Structure 1
Amino acid sequence: MNQPDDYPYTTHLNILFPSLSVIDIPSVVSQVQAKWFNQTLCKVNDSVLRLGVMQGEYHWHKHDDDDELFFVLDGRFIIDLEGQSIELEPQQGYVVPKGVVHRTRAPERAVILMMETAAIVPTGDP
């Protein structure tokens, strides 16, 4: 698998909103100019909530030790699995279990939330 630097994604792993603060998603989304943007919003126990603002395709990858939840806030979001594609509309979500090879895509700009362990490598495991 390629190194994370090989991917044209803007990924911020810092926690943007600490505990006891309001999580303001519209303020973050309004500032995004990148085509594929990922920002950790907050940490809850051993998991993080991340915001994705994206258009285009992510690469095929898997996470050996971590499940991953995708939840669409705005737009249309597609999760490709080997042999099928899951299309999500606003207010729909889907869990990709650990070890399952997947690719995500957004034909038009989409805004999604992702819940996963804080230790996950966003670009996938080798």
Structure 2
Amino acid sequence: MEKIGQLKIIDVPSIVDSVTEKWINVTLSQVNDSLVRLGVIEGEFHWHQHEQEDEFFYVVSGKLYIDLENESIELHPQQGYTVPKGVVHRTRAPEKTVILMVEKDSVNPKGD
């Protein structure tokens, strides 16, 4: 799915309803040099880091775990967390989870 863009209404529920895969990352819009992305996820992502970029996660629905080297963060709806650049992490969701992410446009959504 391509970036939706600016000056358009972004209907998140209809995007979520159209998802058939267990892991999808959709760029909703660009805001200056950052992207707002929607993730619909279930399962685990691989361990990775972003050398130059911070990454913000906000849970819309479901439950998100962010595993760091020495701890796991559990996020519920309406909770957010920022992983600073250079920190090794992975995300996982035990059930279908909808998240918003804000990250620089240089972030590879498949991880470094």
Q: What TM-score results when the alignment is normalised by the length of structure 2?
A: 0.97
- Cα distance in 2 for partners of 1:123, 1:22 equals 26
Number of aligned positions between the proteins: 112
Question: Secondary structure of 1:70's match?
Answer: strand
Contact 1:42 1:50 (C-alpha < 8 Å) held by counterparts: yes
Identify the residue that residue 84 of structure 2 maps to in structure 1.
Answer: 97
Where 1:122 maps in the other structure, the secondary structure is: coil
- Pick aligned residue for 1:74 from 36, 61, 68: 61
Give the % identical residues: 58
Please list every run of at least 4 consecutive aligned residues from structure 1 whose deviation after the TM superposition is greater than 2 angstroms. Answer: none
1:106 is matched with: 93
How does the TM-score come out when normalised to structure 1? Answer: 0.86
Gaps of 5+ in 2: none
Rounded Cα–Cα distance in structure 1 between residues aligned with 2:29 and 2:54: 18
Higher RCO, 1 vs 2 (CA within 8 Å, ≥6 residues apart): 2
* Deviation for aligned residue 1:123: 2.3
* AA partner of residue 84 (structure 1): E
Query: 2: distance between equivalents of 1:65 and 1:52?
Result: 21
The yes-or-no answer on 1:15 pairing with 2:38 is: no
Match of 2:102 in 1: 115
